[in-house]
Amino acid sequence: MKQIKVALTLAGLTAAALSLTACQGVYSPIAGTTFNETKYGNIATEESAATKEGKACAESWFTAIGQGDASIVAAKANGGITKVSSVDHYVKNIMGIYGQWCTIVKGN
């Protein structure tokens, strides 16, 4: 009986630990399972100093439902940009309940 109790306790602890590993619903270079808000650069070109900025975002809810257009093309259109200087990303995740991924394009 004691062996069964120990096995069930270990199984419960293992299940609890594994259930926390999928809480990051939006990719980020920094892991934060409870809260994550990160901005990071991805691409830079030889284009001169940027005078415009465009942003495009997508959202997810409960890591099950996701929608939006966070593409570079959408960010360029939103900022009226034809020549790209840099592409950055902004990520927010709150316990896998709400996630946001944004592409930020700077250029002219």
Per-residue pLDDT tens digits for 7-48? 677 766 665 554 555 555 666 767 777 888 999 987 888 887
Mean pLDDT of the chain: 84
Whole-Å CA distances, 100 to 11, 27, 55:
33, 10, 12
Statement: the pTM of the whole predicted model exceeds 0.75: no
CA dihedral 14, 16, 18, 21 (to 10 degrees): -150
Give the three-class secondary structure for 4.
helix
Give the three-class secondary structure for 107.
strand
Read off φ and ψ for residue 18, nearest 5 degrees: -70, -30
pLDDT value of residue 16? 53
d(CA 31, CA 104): 21
